[in-house]
Amino acid sequence: MSAATRARAPSGVTWDGINWAKVQRHVRGLQTRIVKASQAGRHSKVKALQWLLTHSFSGKALAVKRVTENKGKNTAGVDKVTWKTPVAKTNAIGSMKRRGYSALPLRRVFILKKNGKQRPLGIPCMIDRAQQALYLLALEPIAETTADPNSYGFRPERSTADAGEQCFNCLAKKNSAKWVLEADIKSCFDQISHNWMVANIPTDKAILKKWLEAGFIYQNELFPTDAGTPQGGIISPVAANMTLDGLEAMLGEKFPRAKSSGLKMNMVRYADDFIITGNSKEWLEQEVKPAVVEFLAERGLVLSPEKTKITHIREGFDFLGWNIRRYDGKLLMKPSKANVKAHLDKIREVIKANKMAKQANLIRLLNPILRGWANYHSHVVAKETFARVDTDVWSMLWRWAVRRHPNKGARWVKEKYFKTRGARNWVFAVTEKQEDGTQRELTLLQESDTPIQRHIKIRANANPYDPEWEHYFESRWATKMQNSSKGRAKFYRVWRRQDGMCSTCQEPITKGTPWDVRHIVTRAEGGSDAAGNLQMYHLNCRRNH
């Protein structure tokens, strides 16, 4: 039996009786105070607030909620324990104490990387995951306050699309930089210096040291961990980000006149992959790269020789699944060849693994893959690529269908599996009978139907834990929801509830009037994204207000 299940539950508390809005409100209040104290440089105040948060019932409850509701909730560590029942979750809250806490070793597993190599993952026990989630609640507000402006990986409200848009902003103009230093850190997560992290990451030093030195078990053998932060730990991405934060500021201090003198230095980072632009190959090679190497060496890190190179923008470079290249003076971002190949390989594997599956089941397996990949590339120059992928997918499905019926002719196969819908004659679709007797048609998604829409990059200094940015993030969320079918359905329900009227001026909201949405109880105060907690209003009403 684990410590969590042996521990006595907090007096009078049941998992189903927790007021989560109140819990969220209390945690966000402390996180807001941490941000304000961090911005003011009051480090002792920050530490006191972190202590309050990590010892609060609300913080512990949210931490347990996170680790029991995420994708890894059913994956056990070396103790083979998971928390599935309300009683186990309640007891887990009571077991989260600093005094007497000792981290258990990680369970080591390996996953296959794109280059054929294996990436090691460390799976902590549930109690260690919950402790990491708790201390992350107190650490992430500081990380967001001190982060590099153009760092986009493993950060809330930021994405690869923001990193790609920043690359475009840095390289798209006629007088933009012509050379790009593509940098990749060798085994970043595995090589970060423990001493540097303990000395510089603003969290409980004793607890952090226990996580870093817990070791891992592989094939029933215990191995020590002398460096690195385990991939798989909840707090690891933020710790790795904070290790690399300061690189952009260091370059700005070392080359203060880089932009004004025509060197056009810009940096874009996503996790441990980053690019630095410049107008001279020699300058990037002889001055910028050595400065980066020196910065990383302090943290126990080195650049990967095979992945780090300097490229002219006319040749182009791959970054986050896109190829960024200048064609006859015009910069274009397209899905990279390697990314397209990986996508088609994945589809091919699914089709081959389901040779005897029903057509409806195959469509259900393929549509999320097609939709997710198309949405990822929907803000770059991808229409031709989408059409080419659709053609290749059709060829795979035709071979799949013909193989199932070797004694039938092509016309029979076409009529069975491919339908006519509007102007299209080769739509992979099937009509499926439901349990209630109704019929439902399942159609394979066409990537070329995905609209191309320019992504609006997040503002560099936007902080989701700072209340001053609440309206900004609310508007970004509303825009994102308007571009999704589920979001539009939700807003329609809000519009109907308000009888089509603006909640501020009580005038009609029509298709021709710009509108926005806000939360009645803000998310910072524990409000949800449910339709009942939303209000629609004219955009000008907020501006006037």
Q: Is the pLDDT of residue 3 over 50?
A: no
| Rounded mean pLDDT, 281-291 | 94
Length of the chain: 545
Query: Do β-strands 322-327 and 216-218 pair in parallel, antiparallel, or remain unpaired?
Result: unpaired
- List pLDDT tens digits, range 211-232: 998 888 888 888 888 888 877 7
Q: Which residues does residue 441 pair with via DSSP β-bridges, in sequence order?
A: 431
Q: Where are the alpha helices (DSSP H) in 405-510?
A: 410-417, 470-482, 485-497
Per-residue pLDDT, 6: 41
| Mean pLDDT value across residues 283-287 | 93
pLDDT for residue 261 is more than 70: no
Radius of gyration for the chain, computed over Cα atoms and rounded to the nearest angstrom: 26
Across residues 374-380, what is the average pLDDT?
A: 95
Res 72: pLDDT: 84
Q: What is the mean predicted confidence (pLDDT) over 108-135?
A: 84
Q: Strand order in 179-184's β-sheet?
A: 266-270, 273-278, 179-184, 309-312
pLDDT band of residue 4 (cuts 50, 70, 90) is very low
pLDDT at 491: 75
Chain centroid to Cα 468, Å, comes to: 23
* Tokens linked to 205: 């030093």
Long-range contacts of 218-222 (CB under 8 A, 24+ apart): 218/108, 222/105
d(CA 332, CA 278): 18
pLDDT value of residue 283:
92
| DSSP single-letter state for residue 501 | B
What percent of the chain has pLDDT above 90? 61
Q: What is the pLDDT of residue 485?
A: 62
Ranges 107-116, 139-148, 427-436, 495-504, most confident? 139-148
Mean local confidence (pLDDT), 343-357: 95
Residue 444 has pLDDT above 70, yes or no: yes
Query: How high does pLDDT run on average in the chain?
Result: 88
User: Does position 8 have pLDDT exceeding 50, yes or no?
Assistant: no
Confidence band for 27, pLDDT divided at 50, 70 and 90: very high
Q: Is the pLDDT of residue 479 over 80?
A: no
* Bridging pattern class, strands 106-112 and 216-218: parallel
* pTM of the entire predicted model: 0.85
Q: Mean of the pLDDT values across residues 341-370?
A: 95
Percentage of the residues of the chain whose pLDDT score is greater than 70: 94
pLDDT number for residue 424: 87
Give the H/E segment covering residue 116: none
pLDDT reading at 103 higher than 60: yes
The more confidently predicted of residues 302 and 119 is: 302
pLDDT at 260 over 80: no
Q: What is the pLDDT of residue 192?
A: 92
pLDDT at 542: 61
Q: Look at residue 544 and tell me whether its pLDDT is greater than 80.
A: no
Q: What is the pLDDT of residues 149-200, one digit of tens each?
A: 999 999 999 999 999 999 999 999 988 999 999 998 988 888 899 999 999 9
Residue pLDDT, tens place only, 309-342: 999 999 999 999 999 999 988 999 999 999 999 9
Q: What is the pLDDT of residue 26?
A: 93
CB neighbours of 268 closer than 8 A, spacing ≥ 6?
A: 150, 152, 163, 166, 167, 170, 274, 275, 319
For 339, counting Cβ atoms within 10 Å of its Cβ (0-12 exposed, 13-18 middle, 19+ buried), the class is buried
d(CA 123, CA 135): 17
Average pLDDT over residues 456-484: 85
